[in-house]
Amino acid sequence: MQKIAPCLWFDGNAEEAAQFYISVFSESRIATTMHYTDAGPGPAGKVVAVTFEIEGQEFMALNGGPQYQFTPAISLLVRCNSQEEVDRYWSKLLDGGEPWACGWLRDRFGVSWQITPSVLLDMLLDPDREKASRVMATMMKMVKLDIAPLEKAYRGE
């Protein structure tokens, strides 16, 4: 177990969310499922939390109730090595969700994701600030990120 793992607060659908996330990422699994006991506070037998792993990262999905909702203040960044990977994760995570701008989307459970090509991060960190600025300007016009136009902007074409 990791020393620190994100805990995602759901309103009764933590197990469904965990199952969805492990269906999206190939290197993933459910590690544990905890149920309420007769001691409560929920009905005995109902799922209280699910621990799951995605690509080696541990998460906990907690059925905490309706008190809190997800916001984009916390998002999950998916680094992609190709356009095919961007397209695949974008399509799967967007199912039932909504797209935003610049590679961000909110999935059907309200969790915010950034589907980001690794090459974009490299281009934005280039010491040549003119190149990085062109890439940033191009990215700001996109919803789902497209590597080819970003690379074209980086080259100054």
Q: Residue 14's domain is classified under what CATH number?
A: 3.30.720.100
Nearest Cα residue to 113 out of 4, 21, 7, 3: 21
Within 8 A by CB and 6+ apart from 7, the residues are 59, 60, 61, 62
Residue written as tokens 């659908």?
13
- Give pLDDT, residue 42: 83
Q: Residue 42 belongs to what domain range?
A: 1-68
* Single pTM value for the model: 0.93
83 and 25: one domain? no
Nearest Cα residue to 105 out of 118, 92, 122: 92
- Give pLDDT, residue 58: 98
Task: Write down the mean pLDDT value for the chain.
Answer: 96
* Contact predicate 105/145, CB 8 Å: no
Number of domains in the chain: 2
3 and 45: one domain? yes
The average pLDDT across 114-143 equals 98
What does the alpha-carbon distance between residue 28 and residue 85 come to, in Å, rounded to a whole number? 16
The average pLDDT across 60-67 equals 96
| CATH, residue 91 | 3.10.180.10
